[in-house]
Structure 1
Amino acid sequence: MTEAIAPSPIRVFVVEDQTKILKNQLRLLESNQDITIVGTALSGEAALEEVPRVTPDVLLLDLGLPRMSGIDVTREVKARWPQVEILIFTIFDEEDKVLEAVKAGASGYLLKGTPADKIIEAIKEVRAGGTVIQPSLARRLLRHFRVEPDSSPVPTEPVASPPAPAAPETPAASEASEPLLKPLSNRETELLQLIAKGVSNSEAARLLNLSKATIRTHLEHIYRKLEVTNRVEAVTEGIRKGLISV
């Protein structure tokens, strides 16, 4: 019987301009066998020189870098090496920059001081094609939509009394419901609420007893219905419309 081949460690590159924080991050990460640190940099400029040489899978990137910002680094890395996943480290008063970094191509963000196990989990999540969002910034990100959470009642008529499965929808009914936001299913709402709590795709799959592929499909449906492109926007839009709470 042949032995199962263990997956290769995830190649991680860390960019942090404060040496004390950098050393602490390395200490937390180096003890994990699923992670291998392939390089570090104290600036965005140095990172761009090293990335093509060490070919990381995931870039852990400080948002508040001197000179070349984390947003600029994100934009440059995704333009030149789109296969590299970027995970942003941020602080509470940088929510505007977080949104810009996500738009520039970052796969998610973590607050500085996040426990090591959560950092490892986030690295694995983005490496697998997922996205990482922490609920503690979700409400603060709402301001970028220039609206307050929608306090108007969610229409209950189509939700409270769903049509029987056997009853076909008439063209007139379809046209009448077209202007309204297409409602999320119960499962989609449940998943969106989990995402707002910071749950990863893997955790959601376990909690909902679904496959990760099914979770990704549900996420695609959520994004399409809410007219968004990532988790940050989905959670923010879900809160704004009163579909979920954090």
Structure 2
Amino acid sequence: MTEATASSPIRVFVVEDQTRILKNQLRLLESHQDIEIVGTALSGEAALEDVPRLNPDVLLLDLGLPRMSGIDVTRQVKAQWPQVEILIFTIFDEEDKVLEAVKAGASGYLLKGTPADKIVEAIKEVRAGGTVIQPSLARRLLRHFRVEPDPSPVPTEPLAPAPAAPEPQHKPLSNRETELLQLIAKGVSNSEAARLLNLSKATIRTHLEHIYHKLEVTNRVEAVTEGIRKGLISV
């Protein structure tokens, strides 16, 4: 379970415009041997200048930056350095912005004031390819996803007669996949899901890949949304 951190610590770059909060985050994280703080920035512009030089694994990014927003930083970092995972720090009344950050490529989000052990766990989670969704914001985000129009294309002219037995709307999930998707909807991380289901993290990631493929989505938020739309799970 510690393969990602066994050889070297995770390189973390912290972007926060309020120096008091920044110092507090550094104090919380610097005591963890699995984490190496490779740099800090007080603005998005400064962060973009330093990312290629510092080569971080994970960017801890304040969503409410002045001038250049955390959303814009996310978009540019993922466009230029897609290997960098981005973990957003947010507050309760920023769910619209969180949604945009997730769409722009952020791998997850944490509320400001999250305990240090949860921050470290989230950093490990996104470094390992996972996504972090906190239950305290998950339902509010899902409401936004559910009111979006269906992006499926609509035929503009009649096609050949449909077959007598129409194709199913989605590939059925297995009982284990449905169970895992329900846990994800509650904000459970890969590590927590592995413990709850008595499975390895590698097996959890495999199940997630199958869920994404069957639901034709690319991340946890979309998977939960599709699961709700199709009546597979509830929140």
Measure the CA separation in 1 of the matches of 2:45 and 2:224: 33
Q: CA offset at residue 53 of structure 1? A: 1.6
Indicate the residue corresponding to 2:108 in structure 1: 108
* Alpha-carbon contact 1:139-1:236 (below 8 Å) kept: no
* Alpha-carbon contact 1:149-1:239 (below 8 Å) kept: no
TM-score by length of 2: 0.84
TM-score by length of 1: 0.81
Q: CA offset at residue 212 of structure 1? A: 2.2
Structure 1 residues 124 and 152, CA, compared in 2 at 3 Å: closer, same or farther? Answer: closer
Measure the CA separation in 2 of the matches of 1:186 and 1:89: 34
Measure the CA separation in 2 of the matches of 1:37 and 1:100: 26
* Alpha-carbon contact 2:212-2:218 (below 8 Å) kept: yes
Measure the CA separation in 1 of the matches of 2:3 and 2:124: 23
Structure showing greater radius of gyration is 1
Q: CA offset at residue 37 of structure 1? A: 0.7
* Alpha-carbon contact 1:58-1:84 (below 8 Å) kept: yes
Measure the CA separation in 2 of the matches of 1:240 and 1:2: 35
* Alpha-carbon contact 2:12-2:59 (below 8 Å) kept: yes
Indicate the residue corresponding to 1:30 in structure 2: 30
Moved over 6 A (4+): 1-5, 148-160, 163-169
* Alpha-carbon contact 1:44-1:65 (below 8 Å) kept: yes
* Alpha-carbon contact 2:30-2:36 (below 8 Å) kept: yes
Structure 1 residues 151 and 13, CA, compared in 2 at 3 Å: closer, same or farther? Answer: closer
* Alpha-carbon contact 1:62-1:90 (below 8 Å) kept: yes
Measure the CA separation in 1 of the matches of 2:178 and 2:150: 16
* Alpha-carbon contact 1:148-1:240 (below 8 Å) kept: no
Spell out, residue by residue over 1:93-145, the C-alpha distance to the aligned partner (whole angstroms, 9 max, x if none).
Answer: 22222121112111111111111111000001111111111122222123323
* Alpha-carbon contact 1:108-1:133 (below 8 Å) kept: yes
Structure 1 residues 152 and 42, CA, compared in 2 at 3 Å: closer, same or farther? Answer: closer
Measure the CA separation in 2 of the matches of 1:143 and 1:202: 26
SS of alignment partner, residue 11 of structure 1? strand
* Alpha-carbon contact 1:183-1:225 (below 8 Å) kept: yes
* Alpha-carbon contact 1:95-1:137 (below 8 Å) kept: yes
Spell out, residue by residue over 1:163-182, the C-alpha distance to the aligned partner (whole angstroms, 9 max, x if none).
Answer: 9999999xxxxxxxxx3333
Structure 1 residues 152 and 45, CA, compared in 2 at 3 Å: closer, same or farther? Answer: closer
Structure 1 residues 207 and 150, CA, compared in 2 at 3 Å: closer, same or farther? Answer: farther
Structure 1 residues 51 and 158, CA, compared in 2 at 3 Å: closer, same or farther? Answer: same
Structure 1 residues 183 and 164, CA, compared in 2 at 3 Å: closer, same or farther? Answer: farther
Q: CA offset at residue 223 of structure 1? A: 1.6
Q: CA offset at residue 70 of structure 1? A: 0.6
SS of alignment partner, residue 89 of structure 1? strand
Range moving further from structure 2, 60-69 or 1-10: 1-10
Structure 1 residues 210 and 46, CA, compared in 2 at 3 Å: closer, same or farther? Answer: same
Structure 1 residues 193 and 155, CA, compared in 2 at 3 Å: closer, same or farther? Answer: farther
Measure the CA separation in 1 of the matches of 2:233 and 2:159: 15
User: Counterparts in 2 of 1:142-161, with a 5 A limit?
Assistant: 142-147=142-147
* Alpha-carbon contact 1:89-1:110 (below 8 Å) kept: yes
Measure the CA separation in 2 of the matches of 1:138 and 1:146: 12
Structure 1 residues 34 and 147, CA, compared in 2 at 3 Å: closer, same or farther? Answer: same
Measure the CA separation in 1 of the matches of 2:228 and 2:23: 37
Measure the CA separation in 1 of the matches of 2:74 and 2:151: 36
Structure 1 residues 157 and 198, CA, compared in 2 at 3 Å: closer, same or farther? Answer: farther
Structure 1 residues 84 and 157, CA, compared in 2 at 3 Å: closer, same or farther? Answer: same
> Unaligned stretches of 5+ in structure 1?
170-178
* Alpha-carbon contact 2:4-2:128 (below 8 Å) kept: no
